[in-house]
Amino acid sequence: MSVAFSTDELYLSHEPPGGVPHPERPARLSAILGRLESTGLLARMQRLPERDASDEELLAVHDRGVLETVQAQHAAGGGWIDADTFVGASSPAAARRAVGAALAATWAVLDGSARSAFVAARPPGHHATRDRSMGFCLYNQVAVAAAAALARGLERIAVVDWDLHHGNGTQAIFDADPRVLYVSTHAYPYYPGTGTVGERGLGEAAGTKVNIPLPHGAGDRAFLAAYGQVAVPALEAFEPELVLVSCGWDSHARDPLGALAVSTGGYTAVARLILDAAERLCDGRLVAVLEGGYDEHALACCAQALCELLLGEEPTPDPEQGAGRPEVVHEIEAVIAAARASAGLD
């Protein structure tokens, strides 16, 4: 069965007003697309048609004020929602299309026309909450896709977030929903300041929000331990019908914002773990949606490896690997024990 892929040139026009330098820049996506094109991977994936998210679809997870704020900034000629989050001339259109792409990829996987999918879109989305755009994110495409799949009748959806930063928006939107398992590894303490082990979900959803806050410089061994000992067992206990991945590659050792020193090989090993889990638990139904990542080399290499894995091919090694700090491996043991207990795995 094929692997679906979605992107659009519109995403390249999402830029801050006045040409202000910003890490969330078009070159991020260009690096990914260039690598997938040059390696022939694009030609081996099923290209999905573009579509925009409707107001109704966005309002399933966002208050109307979020949409109105984005449009107001656009009508004013562009501006800043906060110190990090901009609205440029093409931003509202790009953000709607990014959400539409996540929805189209999810439908392709659920309808059986594709086994899995990768959405290479920007801006990212996992920081956008029900009532606020923030952290480079205007709308939360993974949350919208999850809500739409639930409305379609799915009963258990897992979101795996391997971005450097905690996806506070996604967690908050589904904090009281036991149908959504949210699993996140992230640097802590770090922006946005959320994602402690004690954040387990509310009410009936307690235990379905699994946070694994990692110390700075954690590196590959700690990253893999977090997934092998916490994330994958949590998925196995939950038995999802669909896995959505908030696919941020800013934990990479090369990333200018990164603090976890994970190598391309480390990211690839974690992706293999999650893909294997999806294969066992939900017939491989998985949709990965681009989030952060601000080094072009790391983005290109990690995207190549992910797509090779999705296609059932052996990933191409990246010679530029990160090491992390060996002493951090010992620090991670307490975090893993606490995360396992919080998720009810012990």
Place of tokens 């949350």: 143
Write down the pLDDT at residue 123: 98
Residue 337: burial class (beta carbons within 10 Å; 0-12, 13-18, 19+): middle
Residue 214, beta-bridge partner list: 187
Place of tokens 């439908």: 107
With a threshold of 0.85, does the pTM exceed it?
A: yes
Burial letters 272-282, b for 16+ CB under 10 A, else e: ebbbebbeebb
Q: How far is CA 273 from the centre of its chain?
A: 16
Tell me how far apart the alpha carbons of residues 228 and 92 are, in angstroms, rounded to a whole number. 38
Tell me how far apart the alpha carbons of residues 174 and 142 are, in angstroms, rounded to a whole number. 11
- Catalytic position from the list 62, 74, 126, 127: 127
Write down the pLDDT at residue 172: 98
Active site residue 14: no
Other CB atoms within a 10 A radius of the CB of residue 82 amount to 11
Backbone phi, psi, residue 125, to 5°: -140, -15
Half-sphere exposure of 78 (CA within 13 A, CB side): 14
Q: What is the pLDDT along the chain (346 residues), one digit of tens a residue?
A: 699 999 999 999 999 999 899 999 999 999 999 999 999 999 999 999 999 999 999 999 999 999 999 999 999 999 999 999 999 999 999 999 999 999 999 999 999 999 999 999 999 999 999 999 999 999 999 999 999 999 999 999 999 999 999 999 999 999 999 999 999 999 999 999 999 999 999 999 999 999 999 999 999 989 999 999 999 999 999 999 999 999 999 999 999 998 899 999 999 999 999 999 999 999 999 999 999 999 999 999 999 999 999 999 999 988 766 656 666 766 788 899 999 999 999 8
What DSSP letter does each residue of 238-253 carry, written as one string?
A: H--SEEEEEE--TTBT
